């Protein structure tokens, strides 16, 4: 093993001290075998990272030690995860290979380190924003070993805690990613403390002024907060003690981010946020009496303080899908201030603090780290449809991360957890894929309802099925669960493939009847004739009956030039300003124009909605990838218009054979009498073009200026530029972009 020669004696002491603190902070008691594994991982990581330093100048090894400490202390994972955290950057940043890790530490640790390295190496697809492809692949690792994601969250937390030395633009990028996916992931995994830290740090770097303002106001009111918490505690303390309860009361301000979110959603000031305080009552109890004592404490609290009945949350009877259990209520405290009161047993509190590890320690009564079976099973439904483009995948995934829960009942009384906003169709797919696929209606609380009916907690739902029913495209408009979306998309995709195959067979027969060859050349001509993008689009349109016999005959006629010349003559160019009549409407869209001047600009079609010729569209100016064209009903349209209105361009498909484009030319040369007249005569008389404006200036025997004119196509433009250059005295003519 290489000796650590690049650490100073003082740094060696500090590194060893940081590691000793890690060992002392382990949440689970580790035996001698565990100590050997962790010590070995530390020594390997320390020597491998020797000579590497972070941007702050400190030895790099402090980072994996800090990540391992978060894994041990804040998440409560065991030796395998702690060792993996210590080693998580070795394969990527040092000379060690995956084979080296496997040989030294075995299959489990090697698999986790490989998963972490895989995430780090991911590069987002060039056509996707927000690193959607990166996040998608990261989430797919959940299917392999959830500890990969838990360690990655710990890694992200420490990176967020040590970003001060980074450039501002990198801080914003990392903080935005954190708020977009890592904080919601931490929440869904039950890591509520880490989730709050990630949100606060995310706000610190995305909205630094707002963050500082709220932080200062919390600090200014710290003494008032402590006094208030003490006054609240004093009122209920005696009553709790008289009942023989063993408890502690903890009071705190809510997180900076949660206060900021309330200020933003309710459009109020810091002072107007009414429940900035949270009081937590944590009590000792055996498992048998936990629920009874929770309601007993609730009764005592509400004897002293009037509760808000709409704010009672019973997550003991129906725990959250993350395993979270507690009673929450909001009461009118001293000085007529609303206070949120959280009532938890020590076990419930540990699950709330440590999330996954604590939940499964209590559930299984063993220290082995066991995967989150329930949640992972739900995730697998979403992960099945890996062919989805990454943006759709992440949006569906985030939808399920953020969703609040409701609890509905089957006719037999079984409780089903669904996200808020769920419909009977979501319920049906949750029961079974086939039940969802054949669902034709639902009875909720004894009444027949539509499939898009919004369910509420306590509803009793019975699904009506029919063997003739099958999934429809519009179902995607109102289902909210990842499972339902995934299963519907999978069915529609298979149905689409079936139609494509059928369309291919139909087209072969029809072309034979029309005495046309079925080959690549003919297929390409058909694709161009009908303004489609691919041969698959052609086969689908034929199979679905969108392209019928009459349209195929028109194609055949065009190929033989019988009707082709007639239509070409009929659709010849009209004068500028010509209003298209019904007879001149065409489906032959081949070009997109942008803005009020309808300019031709470079663009790419957005993958999230795949617009095709004739769709209503708009342009969106991206930072790095030019103009992206989206359908007006694109799933991302609302978000883009809301957040980036200044980047939106009006756009429409046009038939270039019937449309004049506006072009701006810069012209210069040697001035002479009649120069302006010769230029305008050539454009308006010789070329018979319309000019939008002309602006020529002469000085010192030279002239220069700009001309805006309407032109048919690029070939015509080249000829006009050539003719202008032939005018006596004209030196340069160039198109302005």
Q: Does 379 map to a domain?
A: no
Read off the pLDDT of each residue in 494-498 and give the average, rounded to a whole number.
Answer: 84
Query: Are residue 160 and residue 254 in the same domain, yes or no?
Result: no
Query: Are residue 185 and residue 251 in the same domain, yes or no?
Result: no
Residues annotated catalytic, as ranges: 92-93
Query: Are residue 559 and residue 698 in the same domain, yes or no?
Result: no
Q: Does 254 map to a domain?
A: yes
Query: Are residue 175 and residue 40 in the same domain, yes or no?
Result: yes
Read off the pLDDT of each residue in 259-284 and give the average, rounded to a whole number.
Answer: 85
Q: Does 437 map to a domain?
A: no
Residue 719: CB atoms within 10 A of its CB come to 12
For residue 737, the 8-state DSSP code is: -
Strands 247-253 and 439-444: unpaired
Query: Are residue 566 and residue 594 in the same domain, yes or no?
Result: no
Least confident of 73-87, 190-204, 370-384, 474-488: 370-384
Instruction: Write the CATH number for 58.
Output: 1.10.3210.10
pLDDT score recorded for residue 637: 79
What distance in Å separates the CA atoms of residue 39 and residue 83, rounded to the nearest whole number?
8
Q: Which of 658, 676, 694 is the last residue of a domain?
A: 658
**Are 63 and 70 in contact, with CB atoms under 8 Å apart?**
no
pLDDT score recorded for residue 542: 85
What distance in Å separates the CA atoms of residue 631 and residue 613, rounded to the nearest whole number?
10
**Tens of pLDDT, residues 530-570:** 887 788 888 888 887 788 888 888 788 777 654 444 444 44
pLDDT score recorded for residue 658: 59
Short-list 223, 342, 210, 337, CA closest to 273: 337
Query: Are residue 24 and residue 173 in the same domain, yes or no?
Result: yes
pLDDT score recorded for residue 285: 92
pLDDT score recorded for residue 584: 37
Instruction: Write the CATH number for 281.
Output: 3.30.460.10
> Which residues contact residue 735 at a Cβ distance below 8 angstroms, ignoring those fewer than 6 apart?
663, 664, 665, 666, 717, 721
Q: For 429-497, give the secondary structure using H, E and C.
A: HHHCHHHHHCEEEEEECCEEECCCCCCCCCCEEEEEECCCCCCCHHHHHCCCCHHHHHHHHHHHHHHHH
Query: Are residue 45 and residue 167 in the same domain, yes or no?
Result: yes
pLDDT score recorded for residue 503: 87
Q: Which of 354, 376, 399 is the last residue of a domain?
A: 354
Instruction: Write the CATH number for 729.
Output: 3.30.70.260
Please report, to the nearest 10 degrees, the dihedral formed by the alpha carbons of residues 425, 430, 431, 437 taken in order.
50
Q: Which of 526, 549, 570 is the last residue of a domain?
A: 570
Q: Does 501 map to a domain?
A: yes
Query: Are residue 249 and residue 136 in the same domain, yes or no?
Result: no
For residue 53, the 8-state DSSP code is: B
pLDDT score recorded for residue 186: 83
Query: Are residue 586 and residue 650 in the same domain, yes or no?
Result: yes
Quickly state the pLDDT bin for 130 (edges 50, 70, 90).
Answer: very low
pLDDT score recorded for residue 450: 87
- Global pTM value: 0.57
CB burial class (10 A; 0-12, 13-18, 19+) of residue 521? exposed
**Tens of pLDDT, residues 362-411:** 554 444 444 345 555 555 555 555 445 545 555 555 555 555 677 788 88
pLDDT score recorded for residue 579: 36
Quickly state the pLDDT bin for 127 (edges 50, 70, 90).
Answer: very low
CA distances from 524 to 531, 534, 559, 654 (A): 10, 8, 13, 21
Q: Does 220 map to a domain?
A: yes
Q: What's the number of domains the chain is made of?
A: 5
Question: Token digits for 640?
Answer: 């883009």
Q: Is the pLDDT of residue 581 over 50?
A: no
pLDDT score recorded for residue 428: 92
Q: Is the pLDDT of residue 292 over 90?
A: yes
Instruction: Please report, rounded to a whole number, the percentage of residues in the chain having pLDDT higher than 90.
Output: 13
pLDDT score recorded for residue 583: 35
Short-list 96, 98, 120, CA closest to 109: 98
Q: Does 96 map to a domain?
A: yes
Short-list 152, 129, 136, CA closest to 397: 136
Q: Is the pLDDT of residue 140 over 70?
A: no
Query: Are residue 654 and residue 668 in the same domain, yes or no?
Result: no
The dihedrals phi and psi of 440, each to the nearest 5 degrees, come to -120, -5
What distance in Å separates the CA atoms of residue 675 and residue 685, rounded to the nearest whole number?
15
**Tens of pLDDT, residues 445-485:** 888 888 889 998 888 899 998 888 888 888 888 888 878 88
**Tens of pLDDT, residues 39-62:** 999 999 888 888 888 877 888 889
Please report, to the nearest 10 degrees, the dihedral formed by the alpha carbons of residues 32, 38, 42, 43 taken in order.
50
pLDDT score recorded for residue 27: 53
Query: Are residue 154 and residue 235 in the same domain, yes or no?
Result: no
Query: Are residue 559 and residue 547 in the same domain, yes or no?
Result: yes
Q: Does 366 map to a domain?
A: no
**Mean pLDDT, rounded, of the chain:** 79
Q: How many residues does the chain have?
A: 737
Read off the pLDDT of each residue in 12-17 and give the average, rounded to a whole number.
Answer: 88
pLDDT score recorded for residue 302: 92
pLDDT score recorded for residue 106: 87
What distance in Å separates the CA atoms of residue 417 and residue 407, rounded to the nearest whole number?
5
β-sheet with 702-711: strand ranges across? 691-699, 702-711, 661-670, 730-735
**Tens of pLDDT, residues 652-672:** 887 766 556 677 889 998 888
Read off the pLDDT of each residue in 314-333 and give the average, rounded to a whole number.
Answer: 85
pLDDT score recorded for residue 158: 92
pLDDT score recorded for residue 513: 84
pLDDT score recorded for residue 688: 74
Read off the pLDDT of each residue in 721-735 and give the average, rounded to a whole number.
Answer: 88
Higher pLDDT, 30 or 245: 245
pLDDT score recorded for residue 629: 92
Higher pLDDT, 175 or 140: 175
Q: Does 455 map to a domain?
A: no
Quickly state the pLDDT bin for 299 (edges 50, 70, 90).
Answer: very high
Structural domain range at position 238: 216-354
């Amino acid at each position: 093993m290489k000796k650590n020669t690049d650490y100073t004696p003082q740094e060696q002491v500090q590194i060893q001290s940081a590691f000793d603190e890690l060992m002392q902070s382990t949440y689970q008691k580790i035996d001698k075998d565990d100590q050997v594994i962790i010590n070995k991982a530390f020594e390997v990581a320390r020597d491998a990272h020797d000579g590497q330093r972070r941007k702050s100048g400190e030895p790099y090894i402090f980072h994996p030690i800090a990540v391992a400490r978060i894994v041990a202390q804040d998440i409560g994972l065991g030796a395998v995860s702690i060792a993996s955290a210590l080693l998580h950057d070795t394969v990527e940043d040092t000379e060690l290979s995956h084979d080296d890790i496997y040989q030294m530490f075995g299959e489990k640790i090697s698999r986790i380190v490989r998963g972490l390295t895989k995430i780090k190496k991911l590069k987002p697809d060039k056509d996707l924003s927000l690193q959607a492809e990166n996040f998608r692949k990261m989430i797919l690792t959940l299917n392999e070993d959830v500890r990969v994601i838990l360690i990655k969250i710990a890694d992200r937390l420490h990176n967020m805690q040590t970003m001060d030395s980074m450039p501002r633009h990198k801080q914003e990028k990392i903080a935005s990613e954190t708020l977009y996916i890592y904080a919601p992931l931490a929440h869904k995994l039950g890591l509520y403390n880490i989730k709050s830290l990630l949100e606060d740090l995310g706000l610190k770097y995305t909205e630094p002024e707002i963050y500082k303002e709220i932080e200062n106001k919390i600090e200014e009111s710290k003494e008032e907060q402590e006094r208030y918490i003490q006054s609240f505690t004093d009122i209920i303390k005696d009553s709790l003690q008289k009942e023989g309860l063993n408890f502690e009361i903890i009071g705190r301000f809510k997180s900076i981010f949660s206060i900021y979110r309330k200020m933003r959603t309710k459009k109020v000031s810091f002072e107007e946020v009414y429940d900035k305080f949270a009081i937590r009552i944590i009590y000792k109890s055996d498992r048998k009496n936990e629920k009874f004592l929770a309601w007993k404490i609730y009764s005592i609290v509400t004897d002293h303080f009037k509760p808000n009945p709409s704010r009672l949350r019973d997550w003991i009877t129906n725990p959250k899908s993350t395993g979270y259990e507690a009673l929450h209520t909001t009461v009118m405290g001293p000085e007529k201030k609303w206070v949120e009161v959280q009532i938890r047993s020590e076990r419930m509190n540990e699950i709330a603090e440590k999330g996954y590890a604590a939940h499964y320690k209590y559930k299984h009564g063993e220290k082995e780290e066991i995967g989150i079976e329930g949640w992972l099973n739900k995730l697998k439904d979403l992960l099945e449809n890996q062919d989805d483009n990454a943006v759709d995948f992440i949006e569906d995934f985030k939808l399920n991360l953020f969703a609040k829960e409701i609890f509905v009942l089957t006719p037999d009384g079984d409780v089903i957890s669904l996200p808020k906003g769920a419909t009977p169709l979501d319920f049906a797919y949750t029961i079974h894929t086939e039940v969802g696929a054949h669902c034709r209606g639902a009875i909720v609380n004894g009444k027949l309802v539509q499939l898009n009916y919004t369910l509420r907690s306590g509803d009793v739902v019975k699904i009506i099925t029919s063997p003739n029913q099958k999934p429809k495209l519009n179902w995607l408009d109102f289902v909210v669960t990842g499972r339902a979306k995934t299963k519907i998309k999978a069915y529609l995709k298979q149905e689409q493939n079936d139609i494509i195959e059928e369309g291919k067979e139909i087209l072969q027969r029809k072309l034979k009847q029309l005495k046309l060859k079925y080959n690549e050349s003919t297929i390409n001509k058909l694709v161009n004739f009908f303004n489609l993008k691919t041969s698959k689009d052609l086969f689908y349109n034929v199979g679905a009956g969108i392209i019928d016999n009459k349209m195929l005959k028109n194609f055949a006629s065009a190929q033989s030039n019988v009707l082709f010349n007639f239509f070409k003559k009929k659709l010849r160019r009209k004068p500028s300003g010509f209003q298209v009549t019904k007879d001149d409407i065409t489906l032959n869209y081949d070009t997109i124009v942008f803005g009020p001047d309808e300019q031709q600009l470079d663009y790419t079609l957005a993958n999230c909605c795949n617009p095709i010729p004739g769709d209503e569209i708009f342009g969106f100016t991206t930072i790095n990838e030019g103009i992206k064209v989206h359908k007006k009903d694109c799933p991302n349209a609302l978000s883009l218009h809301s957040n980036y209105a200044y980047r939106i361009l009006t756009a429409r498909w046009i038939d270039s054979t019937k449309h004049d484009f506006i072009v701006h030319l810069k012209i210069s040369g040697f001035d002479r009498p009649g120069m302006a007249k010769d230029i305008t005569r050539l454009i308006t008389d010789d070329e018979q073009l319309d000019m939008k404006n002309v602006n020529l200036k002469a000085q010192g025997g030279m002239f220069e200026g700009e001309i805006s004119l309407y032109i048919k196509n690029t070939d015509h433009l080249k000829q006009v530029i050539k003719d202008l250059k032939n005018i006596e005295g004209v030196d340069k003519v160039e198109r302005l972009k």
